[in-house]
Structure 1
Amino acid sequence: MDDSTREPVEVRELRALADSVRAALGEPSRRTSRDLQHWRGLDANLDALDGIERTTTRSVWNMQPRIQFDPEDPAPGAGGSSEARGVETVLITRPATLDVNPLLPSIHPDARVGPVFLRGVVLDEERVVIEGLDTADGEPTAWLTDRPHLVVLMLELWHRTLALSAPVLAPGQQPLLSPRRLRVARLLAMGEKDQAIARQLEMSGRTVEREVRAVLEALGARSRTEAVLAMSGRASNSRTRPTR
């Protein structure tokens, strides 16, 4: 039996709505036009999203089924510069993301988790980014459009997803790592030694040693290697997933 048949009615309806968004994109997605722009490849997608995010004035609502931990990305997802400009940013991802990215609550403490069936972004409630099918070579694709019927569908999908989501951190719960320890953890994951971390973060060597020990303890890791594995959810003894 299909597992989806055992899902609550509202979740099945959400899945069907995501399918309707894909169907509505449909045949016109084969042709790029002024009101339907196509991106191909991860770098093109990220560059385009970064440029568009800088033009938002009110809100960036982001649905991502899965978000991998990337130590080289200092501000993952839409929100870095938007928040600085007073733009509302909300990220929703699946609970399973915490299995492969247990530091998500430290990176995005205001994120939410819930059933996400479509990768997409709603910008200022006027434009939407919708995932497309991967190319035959496995490259991701996406579409940017302000076509009213697609915007309406994506807004409905967003609001229904939001209603079924919950904060990634329970009330009063603190992220696993502080912002400073998260910066240390990122450099640790990139293979940097204490001296390089101290230089880049303008810390003393003793402070870095103390912070590295704290990161390992928080991750339940006995070594730097175990810590790096834990950050990506691959350590068997990892205890980094938040308890609710």
Structure 2
Amino acid sequence: MPLTPSRDTVLCISLAGRPGTFGVRFHNHLYEQLGLDFYYKAMRTDDLPAAVAGIRALGIRGCGVSMPYKEACMALVDEIDPSAAAIDSVNTLVNTEGHLKAYNTDYLAVRQLLTQHKVDPTTAFALRGSGGMAKAVASALRDAGFGEGIIVARNEQAGRELADVCGYRWLPELDDLCPPMLINVTPVGMAGGPEAQQLAFSEMAIAASERVFDVVAMPVQTPLIEHAEKLGKQVITGLEVIALQALEQFVLYTGIRPTPEQVQAAVGYARQG
């Protein structure tokens, strides 16, 4: 929080069904370290159209958008960046003098991580999930050249739609299939959730895999990541996703890109919350 808030302090917020502390601590730490007169606050709402109208009317500079609002936001903005238009899902709103533009920095973060971890696009995968974040991850995989994938979703309509759009196939369950990369894009394993202690994939599938990617960020050591690491599998964590997407949001809101050292410090501070 700014040491001396003023009438000119710029407000940024996030909207989530389950508001967390990572974004609040990450953004506010960087604001303080860089001497920016900004403040970030996490919120939830039962009236999304009214909340988005409030962002516009009150001059709130930016808004992070999490489940379950990512798709519903599409119809409420003035402009949609290609990162969001390509997948019909939003995770970031930027307000410029009442003009709301929607982005998807989840998509950008996943593309970066696939490159950083040197994941071969010939790797077959199974992705569990069919919501807004699943769209971002599946689209990032498609656009990075991953040609062989399975969308695993109990919601047949949403699962088939996502699979068709991205050129993959849909299954309600993996059963005895064991592709080399497993990706969880559901709340399974999320702290405080009803499935916090559960594995998103079977022990057999994890044992047969080469790499496990879990977008759940809290806790960092989800049951899936912990089990995979014990078996010596390569992992990509939700912390990596949330840190990269939060960084891109910060840049969109402020126009400033912090140094890698400043970002690392902000991630460390955010994890303490």
Alignment TM-score > 0.5, same fold: no
Give the TM-score, by structure 2 length.
0.22
* Structure number with bigger Rg: 1
Give the TM-score, by structure 1 length.
0.24
Higher relative contact order (CA 8 A, sep 6+): 1
